[in-house]
Amino acid sequence: AQSVTQPDIHITVSEGASLELRCNYSYGATPYLFWYVQSPGQGLQLLLKYFSGDTLVQGIKGFEAEFKRSQSSFNLRKPSVHWSDAAEYFCAVGARRGGADGLTFGKGTHLIIQP
Amino acid sequence: KAGVTQTPRYLIKTRGQQVTLSCSPISGHRSVSWYQQTPGQGLQFLFEYFSETQRNKGNFPGRFSGRQFSNSRSEMNVSTLELGDSALYLCASSLGQGAGGELFFGEGSRLTVL
């Protein structure tokens, strides 16, 4: 079965500093990979996704992520965070052939922005 | 265009009751998925419907059920509520079925079971 690990439950970053959120997955092949963001009281919004091709993918709000097959990782990065980036971030994997599990999400990383 | 709409946004029930949650997908989207979000278990896949048929189902007891109508709107039902069913229930729609489609989430229905 597929699984996702987000090792950092909380991360605190100063406004204007760079950000990297870690995500490791377990899957038998190359899965679909996603990063979602959830603000308090809101649903999830897709930041970016990796299906195939270029392993560095660009997303909305200045985010990017890099797929590293050898490390089974899909880390999310942003060069300079803004206070509005404070939210919960979820990494997710999906089976390429639409298996019975839907999307499998990590437990999330809570991002705190210091002024 | 309008996003995914979930109703009700908040509700309180007591143990043993049943609840029905509704989801209206984005116009033109034919796939609707449901997820349960709790602090302890995180986001867990419940089921997915496409063209009125349940395509995939997560590891939840039979008390959790759903359906999809011809206009792609979906409902999920939880019978014989337990305290542990307290959660945020998120609905997501997409154009196609399976994990390949980009999911658009609603704001969720927050269920509290007393």
Per-residue pLDDT reduced to its tens digit, A72-112: 999 999 999 999 999 999 999 987 655 556 788 999 999 99
Q: Which long-range contacts (CB under 8 A, 24 or more apart) does B8-13 make?
A: B8/B109, B9/B107, B9/B108, B9/B109, B9/B110, B10/B109, B10/B110, B10/B112, B11/B109, B11/B110, B11/B111, B11/B112, B12/B111, B12/B112, B12/B113, B12/B114, B13/B81, B13/B111, B13/B112, B13/B113, B13/B114
**Taking CA A73 as the corner, what is the angle to CA A70 and CA A75, rounded to the nearest 5 degrees?**
140
Selecting from B44, B97, B105 the residue whose C-beta is nearest the C-beta of A98 gives: B97
pLDDT at A28: 74
State which residue of chain A sits closest to B45, comparing Cα positions.
A102
Q: Rounded mean pLDDT of A48-52?
A: 90
Of chain A, the percentage scoring pLDDT greater than 90 comes to 74
In this predicted model, what pLDDT tens digit does every residue of A65-83 receive, in sequence order? 999 999 999 999 999 999 9
Q: Which of A42, A4, A19 is nearest to A114 (CA)?
A: A19
pLDDT at A4: 94
Q: Are A17 and A80 in contact (CB under 8 A)?
A: yes
CB of B43 within 8 Å of any CB in chain A? yes
pLDDT at B56: 85
Q: B43 vs A45: CB contact, 8 Å cut-off?
A: no
Selecting from B47, B103, B108 the residue whose C-beta is nearest the C-beta of A103 gives: B103
